[in-house]
């Protein structure tokens, strides 16, 4: 069987509110050592862990985190009540620095940090990358800054020491040329954008495929060259992988 590393997408997001400290801690306690989170910047330029800038889905309220101060943002409850009712009442939006503190208890863990488009558009790459690296200062060497935006990735690489990952828009010859020029540490692609039967490009990078929900699907992708599988079905896929291990 080809080697597969699981990335807990937004933590153990199947069982906990996504991108929260309980979700991330649960994934680590289940034995995963790769986490991926989304990051946005508040109005005053502080990095918080959130996928959508719009608060409706996770917090159940109107408005955008981009318009909140950091004090206002960390007071927002992100309990995903539509999914969990009041089970996780009181779960707050974490700062990126809170996740960095969590990682201090797990020195072998790697954190993939996605620079979300809305904050890039609002604040610009310079401010966004600087804020993220400042929040991760104590663990940046164990982090990978990920984005579809090539200038942001190039800036992150120059600033270091975090590694970088490019989120491909498509698997085509144009993207291949850009990938060879950039030489990111990781290349991310949505499984739904992969042409059937096409082997993944070889290079100094490592492939990570996201939106993967089943072990058979993961095994097929591993055979095509994907070393990392990003999933929200953390507990189920981890158990299935262990059961297949020799």
CA quadruple 40, 42, 47, 50: dihedral positive or negative?
Answer: negative
Of the candidates 9, 34, 53, 123, the residue annotated as catalytic is 9
Instruction: Measure CA 163 to chain center.
Output: 13
Tokens 């955008």 locate to: 64
Tokens of 39: 């990051």
Partners of 167 in beta bridges: 188
Q: Is 155 helix (H, G, I), strand (E, B) or coil?
A: helix
Tokens for 148, please give them: 């579809």
Write out the two tokens for 152.
């942001």
Tokens in use for 186?
């990781």
Active site residue 34: no
176 catalytic residue (yes or no): no
Q: What is the torsion angle, in degrees rounded to the nearest 10, for the CA atoms of residue 228, residue 134, residue 95 and residue 49?
A: -30
Say how far apart CA 192 and CA 210 lie, in whole Å.
Answer: 9
Contacts of residue 86, Cβ cutoff 8 Å, sequence gap at least 6: 79
Among the options 34, 51, 123, 210, which is catalytic? Answer: 51
**Between helices 125-135 and 150-159, what is the axis angle to 10°?**
40
Q: Strand pairing of 34-41 and 110-115?
A: parallel
Q: Count CB-CB contacts under 10 A for residue 227.
A: 17
**Tokens 């807990």 belong to residue:** 8
Name the residues annotated as catalytic: 9, 51
């Amino acid at each position: 069987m080809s080697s597969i590393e699981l990335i807990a997408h937004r933590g153990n997001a199947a069982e906990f509110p996504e991108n929260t400290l309980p979700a991330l801690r649960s994934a680590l306690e289940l034995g995963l050592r790769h986490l991926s989170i989304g990051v946005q910047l508040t109005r005053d330029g502080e990095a918080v862990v959130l996928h959508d800038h719009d608060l409706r889905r996770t917090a159940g309220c109107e408005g955008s985190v981009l318009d909140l101060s950091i004090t206002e943002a960390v007071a927002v409850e992100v309990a995903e009540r539509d999914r969990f009712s009041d089970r996780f009442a009181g779960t707050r939006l974490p700062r990126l620095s809170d996740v960095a503190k969590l990682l201090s208890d797990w020195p072998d863990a790697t954190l993939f940090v996605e620079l979300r488009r809305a904050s890039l558009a609002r604040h610009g790459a310079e401010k966004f990358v600087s804020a993220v690296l400042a929040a991760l200062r104590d663990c940046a060497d164990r982090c990978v800054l990920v984005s579809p935006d090539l200038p942001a990735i190039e800036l992150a690489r120059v600033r270091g020491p975090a590694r970088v990952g490019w989120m491909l828009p498509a698997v085509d010859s144009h993207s291949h040329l850009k990938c060879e020029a950039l030489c990111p540490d990781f290349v991310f692609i949505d499984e739904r954008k992969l042409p059937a039967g096409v082997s993944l490009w070889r290079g100094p990078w490592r492939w990570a495929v996201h939106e993967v929900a089943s072990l058979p699907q993961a095994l097929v992708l591993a055979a095509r060259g994907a070393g990392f599988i990003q999933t929200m079905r953390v507990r189920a896929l981890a158990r299935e992988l262990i059961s297949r291990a020799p």
